[in-house]
Structures are given as C-alpha cells and as structure tokens.
C-alpha cells in the first residue's frame, strides 16, 4: 500500500465510524489545508465506478451569508446540482426527480431536511444515505452566526439516512461548543493524514518498474516542478499521472491528481 492509499484508508475508516454510528448525523472533521483536500479526494473517489462506499455525496459551496436563510440557499443549490445531472441520470436509466414544493413554515432547516428526505426516499434503492458536504467559505455572516446555524441543525430530528459533513479548523475550531452540546449527534473526526509526510514517502518510494512506480514518478515530478515554479511542467506531469491511473483503473489515484492539480491552479490564480 502506498502513501496515498494509506491516507485514503484512514479517511475511509473514520468515515465508516461516522456512518456506522446509529446516532451521529453531523460529521465534524477537524482538519486544515491539504488535509481537507485529501478528504475531498476521498469523496470524489466515491463517485467513481468501483467505489466501496454506496452513499450519495453532494458538495455544496454555498457562502454562509444570510444565516436565517442559509438552509434555503442550500436547498436551491441542491436542486440545481440534481437538475444539472438530469441528462446523465437519464442515460443511466435513473428515473427523474421532482423536488417537493416549499412548505408553509418559514424554517430554512426544516425545508432543507424535507428536500433531502424526499430525494433520499426516491432513490433509496440506489444508495443507503444522502450526505451533504457543507462548504460555507469564509463565513461572511461571521463565526457566531455559523455556530448558531449548525446548532439549529444539530437540534433537529434528522433521519438516519441523512447526514451532514463539514470542516472545522484545527488551529482555531469554531464548533467546540456545538459538539459539546450535542455529543451524540455531532461526531468529531481528526484522522492523522500528514500530507507533507505523504509526499515525502512517495518521493522515497520512487524507483523500480511497473505502473505503480511510474505513477509515483509522475506524481512526485509534479510536486517537484510546482516547487520550482514551473506550472506547465507540473500540469504535464499531472496529466500523465492521471492518464496512467485511469488506464490502470485506480479511481483514488485519479482523484488525488485532480486534487493536486486544482491546488496548483488555485495557487497560480488560474482557478
């Protein structure tokens, strides 16, 4: 098992501990920077053929700007994501989904949960759980309002087939009080991922022959080129690594390369 696979296995173990818990509904991941990237890589890998995780993941990059309406903004984004995938779903033979209308109550969290429940119920035969990954950005409405909103979510009776996942900074956590107030509902995860150590281990493992060794050469070459400021060379190495991983049927490695490429483009201002 290489360094990437080791990290993804640790994430998978933490994920199963969360989904296997009969009471946990909100997974709070205490991670920073590249560690978050590795978890997102794990999630991306679960959307590929051959994944061992059957849950339905949906990442929603919705800025936390209007606290009392945040659930409604998430609801809108959820519907947009499903509508954007309508053609792909039809090609796969999946029946179309019609979101339920808004209810009479003015409660953003209740409306979000009702929508997720309707979706999960429609496709229960395809996946056991619907996982909403909340990515609220820089919290324009402020950390106190974010704590208030997450605490409202944690207080609701969330069905077992619905789960939420969010990230909380290691250095300056925002949700300690929420986790303490709802210890059974909010599960805190902090797997030891050590991204820097992962790259060092990959570099040490370079050598030999075969697809695995060639992949490591490409991936480490990508990192080395990025460190010396040669973006184009780094992207070429990344393309080679991703293409090799696709040919070998390695969805997790493909996802890792995509994550690294995204970080490079973001850092260069091209994303």
Lowest pLDDT segment from 67-76, 162-171, 261-270: 261-270
Lowest pLDDT segment from 102-116, 148-162, 195-209: 195-209
130 forms bridges with which residues in the sheet? 56, 162
pLDDT score, position 271? 54
pLDDT score, position 222? 83
The CA–CA distances, whole Å, from 137 to 62, 166, 168, 220 equal 7, 11, 11, 30
Statement: residue 187 has pLDDT above 90: yes
Statement: residue 242 has pLDDT above 60: yes
Instruction: Give the count of beta carbons closer than 10 Å to the beta carbon of residue 64.
Output: 22
CA distance 124 to 120: 6
Percent of residues, the chain, with pLDDT higher than 90? 45
Confidence class of residue 142 from pLDDT cuts 50, 70 and 90?
very high
The dihedral over CA atoms of 255, 264, 223, 165, expressed in degrees to the nearest 10, equals -40
Contacts of residue 218, Cβ cutoff 8 Å, sequence gap at least 6: 237, 238, 240, 241, 244
pLDDT score, position 209? 64
Cβ–Cβ < 8 Å for 37, 248 = no
Statement: residue 245 has pLDDT above 60: yes
Confidence class of residue 205 from pLDDT cuts 50, 70 and 90?
low
CA distance 230 to 86: 39
Burial class from Cβ neighbours inside 10 Å (0-12, 13-18, 19+) for residue 48 reads: middle
Statement: residue 215 has pLDDT above 90: no
Find, among 128, 123, 103, 98, the residue nearest to 113 by Cα. Answer: 103
Using a CB cutoff of 8 Å and minimum separation of 24, what contacts does 96-102 make?
97/122, 97/123
Instruction: Using DSSP, state whether 166 is helix, strand or coil.
Output: strand
Residue with tokens 């820089």, as numbered in its chain? 138
Mean pLDDT of 18-40: 89
pLDDT score, position 140? 93
The CA–CA distances, whole Å, from 222 to 2, 201, 232, 262 equal 17, 15, 10, 12
Instruction: Give the count of beta carbons closer than 10 Å to the beta carbon of residue 26.
Output: 23
Q: What tokens were used for 155?
A: 């207080």
The CA–CA distances, whole Å, from 17 to 24, 26, 142, 188, 190 equal 9, 12, 31, 11, 12
CA distance 78 to 171: 30
Average pLDDT, the chain: 86
């Amino acid at each position: 098992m290489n360094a990437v696979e080791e990290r993804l296995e640790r994430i998978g173990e933490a994920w199963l501990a969360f989904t296997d818990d009969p009471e946990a509904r909100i997974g709070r991941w205490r991670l920073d920077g590249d560690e978050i990237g590795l978890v997102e890589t794990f999630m991306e890998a679960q959307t590929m053929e051959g994944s061992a995780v059957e849950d339905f993941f949906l990442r929603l990059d919705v800025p936390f700007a209007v606290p009392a309406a945040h659930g409604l903004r998430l609801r809108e984004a959820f519907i947009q994501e499903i509508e954007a995938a309508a053609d792909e779903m039809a090609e796969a033979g999946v029946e179309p989904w019609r979101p339920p209308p808004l209810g009479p109550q003015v409660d953003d969290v209740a409306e979000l949960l009702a929508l997720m429940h309707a979706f999960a119920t429609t496709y229960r035969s395809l996946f056991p759980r619907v996982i909403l990954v909340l990515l609220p950005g820089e919290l324009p409405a402020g950390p106190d309002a974010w704590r208030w909103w997450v605490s409202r979510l944690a207080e609701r009776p969330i069905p077992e087939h619905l789960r939420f996942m969010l990230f909380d900074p290691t250095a300056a956590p925002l949700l300690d009080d929420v986790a303490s107030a709802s210890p059974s509902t909010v599960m805190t995860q902090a797997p030891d991922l050590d991204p820097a150590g992962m790259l060092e281990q990959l570099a040490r493992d370079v050598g030999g022959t075969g697809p695995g060794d060639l992949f490591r050469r490409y991936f480490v070459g990508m990192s080395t080129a990025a460190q010396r400021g040669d973006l184009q060379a780094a992207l070429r190495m990344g393309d080679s690594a991703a293409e090799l991983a696709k040919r070998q049927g390695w969805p997790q490695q493909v996802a890792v390369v995509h994550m690294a490429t995204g970080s490079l483009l973001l850092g260069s201002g091209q994303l």
